[in-house]
Chains A and B, each alone.
Chain A
Amino acid sequence: MQELWDILEREPKAAIYAGGTDLLVKLRGGLLDPPALVCLERVEALRGIRDHGEEIFIGAATSHRRILEHPAIGEHFPVLAKAIAVLGSPPIRHMGTIGGNIVTASPAGDTLPPLYVLDAEVEVASPAGTRSVPVCDFILGPGSVNLEQGEVLAGVRLRKAPVWQIHHYEKVGRRKAQACSVASLAALLALSESGTVKRARLAWGSVGPTVVTSGEIEEALIGKPLTRKAFEQAAVMARRAVSPIDDIRAGADYRRHVAGALLFRLTV
């Protein structure tokens, strides 16, 4: 890391990447013109998945493929594994990293709704030390994160919470792979013995400038059985909670409708 700090001190305006699947595309598209480029793909301190018992730490420069292959992720955070499995394509997953997905902060970032429902915390590093920020506070807007110059996203911390029975992720897009989603939903449900919702965590992607969450909708589901009728009210609330845009992939009306409809995938 010291080498990295030295480089960033010499080149404070350098653009930083690891896999390059977002940054190098923007570079080629002429959207950026940095004086220097720094590639983090081999910085050992930023790579790897460490299981600390109650929590797991994923280094920012860990590729999506490595995360998907790690048994602890599928075991403890299936909602994240399901999202990464449909992110991009195999070569994109070989190169792209979770840190990149977070810092790019696309409204459609596939790992983001899962990270929100998992109450993930990101760790930011600088020569002065590290600081932890909840992911929902770290991402400020489309393409904008709480990173000062000289700081680097070091990793993501996920706390194990074996309370959920349903771990759901679905992205709706124009194709089955390499799709920038037009609406997505990550959902965690804890069920009572009678099969009603005891607790819920919900996060929608691609239907707002950042991931959309709603404590109100989560509470509205409590006590409800997993039937379409019981979820109707929540779907109506979801359509009101999101703020999608029209773009070349889909219209706002369609996205709004799908945001509500995605909840019905949780019902039988």
Chain B
Amino acid sequence: MIHFTLNGEEIGTDAPPDRRVIDLLREDLGLTGAKESCGAGDCGACTILVDGESRLSCLMLAAQLEDREITTIEGLANGEELHPIQEAFVQHGAIQCGFCIPGMALASVDLLNRNPSPTRTDIRHGLAGNLCRCTGYRKIVDAVEAAARLRENE
């Protein structure tokens, strides 16, 4: 059994130790927020937080989850209350098809944890691991910038 904390809840899984975390999340646990696009670490659609740090679940194996705190997009909101990042994405029209958004949102959370006052250039660098085919990134950067400002004013 592999034991870890998932979105605040302690769970155990019987998954084979070499099962990819992206598959474990989507197929075994029904958490389809994390997406697989490239499967090779280039697109960021599979991004999750591991002990608060953004990681690519398509390049992690189940055994690596042991004792870790995992956050998926499903764990970002507080019940019905959206996380400030999610709220900012909605307010600024940063979401089109939505496919990149779970990874993009979690990468943004990671970015603001590391750099609470990023410039727009910092934001672009901080989200360099997440590709979006729809938006051209402009409104995503707007959203993260706004969320950072909001956080600063709290």
A196 located at the interface, meaning its Cβ lies under 8 Å from any Cβ of chain B in the complex: no
Q: Is the CB of B64 within 8 A of A178?
A: no
CB within 8 A of A177: which of B59, B110, B125?
B125
Q: Residues of B within 8 Å of A, CB-based: how many? A: 25
Nearest CB in chain A to that of B54: its residue: A91
Least Cβ distance of A86 to chain B in Å?
Answer: 9
The B-contacting residues of A in range 79-136, CB under 8 angstroms, are 88-92, 94-95
Chain A residues with Cβ under 8 A from B107's Cβ? Answer: 90-91
Hey, what's the 0/1 contact readout for B20-59 against A, CB within 8 Å counting as 1? 0000000000000000000111101001000001111011
Does A20 count as interface, using CB distance less than 8 angstroms? yes
Inside 8 A of A178's CB, which chain B residues have their CB? 42, 128-129
List residues of chain A with CB within 8 A of the CB of B60: 20, 24, 95
Q: Given B53, B64, B110, which contacts A39 in the complex, CB threshold below 8 Å?
A: B64
Contacts of B111 in A (CB 8 A): 90
Partner of B63, one of A39, A92, A176: A39
Chain A nearest Cβ from B29, distance in angstroms:
20
Residue in contact with B110 in the complex, picked from A29, A88, A90, A92, CB distance below 8 Å: A90
Query: Which A residue's beta carbon lies closest to that of B42?
Result: A178
Beta-carbon nearest neighbor of B53 in chain A = A94
Chain A hits for B129, CB < 8 A: 88-92, 177-178
Q: Which chain B residue has the least Cβ–Cβ distance from A28?
A: B39
Whether A177 touches B18, Cβ cut-off 8 Å, given contacts A28-B40, A91-B44, A95-B59, is: no
B40 — which chain A residues lie within 8 A by C-beta? 25, 28-29
Q: Is A21 an interface residue (CB 8 A)?
A: yes
CB distance from A20 to the nearest CB of B (A): 5
Q: Is A37 an interface residue (CB 8 A)?
A: yes
- Does any Cβ of B come within 8 Å of A11's Cβ? no
Complex: how many Å from CA A39 to CA B40? 18
Q: Which of A20, A25, A65 contacts B61 (CB 8 A)?
A: A20
Q: Please, which residue of chain A has its CB at the minimum distance from the CB of B131? A: A178
**Bound CA span A13–B65, Å:** 24
Q: In whole angstroms, what is the CA distance A152 to B120 when docked?
A: 41
B61 touches A37 (CB 8 A): yes
Of A25, A41, A90, A177, the most chain B CB neighbours within 10 A belong to: A90
Query: Which residues of the other chain, B, contact A65 by a CB distance below 8 angstroms?
Result: 53
27 A-B pairs whose Cβ atoms sit less than 8 Å apart in the complex: A19-B59, A20-B59, A20-B60, A20-B61, A24-B59, A24-B60, A24-B61, A25-B40, A28-B39, A28-B40, A28-B58, A39-B63, A39-B64, A41-B64, A88-B41, A89-B128, A90-B54, A90-B125, A90-B128, A90-B129, A91-B54, A91-B55, A91-B129, A92-B129, A94-B55, A176-B128, A178-B129
